[in-house]
Chains A and B, each alone.
Chain A
């Protein structure tokens, strides 16, 4: 088991290194963008994807906690939210850098920027709530309830609001016409990066949950 983990960890490191090289040397320069700015897509899109994935993991763990009341499920939800917050910040920063190069300003209140800003606010509110509840079980159930509420309002933010306001944001990978307008080598690097970032999230998430499990065991040992 330990050997397998060690191998997976190294494989992930090599995979991400290849993705970085591929992003700069294998993928061609995208047309219609200033200079090499479009290469940020290979990092920005996977970061935004992981932020959303973490949001989903947080929801599943929260729903499990509401059913099982197992503290480890609460720890899973909090770990996913912590990583979601980290990757949302990264996606916001990389998006802002791209916006500065392409549109001349770091922040334009584009609907996509609003979506990520609200995702950040939700994660921040989730942790503010956790810190305000001293009792552990109550903290778990209240933050799980908030996570579920936040999740059900998210589709409106992602699908309804961008249709109300005109967006500068380039098409998403799979655009509204249901096709992928991207050179095949770019698609290969982007997909490889998505896989790599998902692996990175899984690794960090597993580490965080293992750490929480050790803390819980120690706590139970002290209480016992």
Chain B
């Protein structure tokens, strides 16, 4: 199963490196939003007492909406190119889900590696607990990729999938977003990794239940 999943991931990476559609969509969306935020708000227009919460919230709003602009492509493109049937024959559903999930995770990590340092520089965001922030970003990406991948699988089988993705993802991902903002704020305020434990526990639980539910639901969604 793992080798099949790696083959699916390899196929996704090769396709993406050739076309760079998802990477360009997500990266440019994030960059445009970041430019708008940095230009309109900048590092000094937020009062000192509001900075910890507002800067964490703005960062995740940029990352989340950039992610919704590109993560659905992983399944939508298979339906658009009529390659879904071949993929169904070539790999087990669990392998397809895992491969696509890993691809979305890599896409999110690439986005964060590019956007987060830029955000910290442009918004003068001082993060005291870098290790805590890295943990929140890494596990948050896993949870977000898990939600986005299964929703992408669902909407790829419906018409008007582009707009549906955001409509279906936002209610499911909002609790995660609240926890991520809280975790990022805790990481920015304290150098101690223990400060982000409560948020990390909630993120891991949310990622866990989403992954378990996805493993149960994906074969139904994929084969119908």
Contact = CB atoms under 8 A, between A and B. Distances in A.
Interface of A: 66, 114, 118, 121-122, 124-125, 128-129, 132-134, 137-138, 141-142, 144-146, 148-150, 152-153, 156-157, 160-161, 164-165
A118 B172 CA distance: 8
Nearest to A141: B224
B168 interface: yes
Contacts of B217: 145, 148-149
Closest 9 CB pairs of A and B: A121-B171, A132-B158, A156-B175, A145-B217, A122-B171, A157-B175, A141-B224, A152-B209, A133-B158
A83 B221 CA distance: 25
Contacts of B176: 153, 156
A152 B210 CA distance: 7
Contact of B171 (A66, A118, A141): A118
Interface residues of B, number: 35
Contact of B205 (A132, A134, A156): A156
Contact of A129 (B164, B209, B212, B216): B164
Contacts of A137: 224
Contacts of B168: 125, 128-129, 146
A156 B157 contact: no
B146 to A, nearest CB: 10
Interface in B175-215: 175-176, 178-179, 182, 202, 205-206, 209-210, 212-214
A191 B51 CA distance: 45
Nearest to B181: A164
B192 to A, nearest CB: 19
Nearest to A130: B158
A142 B221 contact: yes
Nearest to A156: B175
Interface string B149-162: 01100110111110
Given A121-B170, A156-B179, A132 B159 contact: yes
B174 interface: yes
Contacts of B205: 156
Interface of B: 147, 150-151, 154-155, 157-161, 164, 167-168, 170-172, 174-176, 178-179, 182, 202, 205-206, 209-210, 212-214, 216-217, 220-221, 224
23 contacts: A66-B220, A122-B171, A129-B154, A129-B155, A129-B164, A132-B161, A134-B159, A137-B224, A142-B154, A142-B158, A145-B150, A145-B154, A145-B220, A146-B154, A148-B213, A150-B171, A152-B212, A153-B147, A153-B172, A153-B175, A156-B175, A156-B202, A157-B174
Contacts, number: 96
B157 A118 contact: no
Contacts of A124: 167
Contacts of B224: 137-138, 141-142
A164 to B, nearest CB: 5
B218 to A, nearest CB: 8
Nearest to B177: A161
A40 B168 CA distance: 32
Nearest to B178: A161
Contacts of B178: 114, 161, 164-165
Contact of A141 (B160, B179, B220): B220
B9 to A, nearest CB: 23
A145 B221 contact: yes
B206 A153 contact: yes
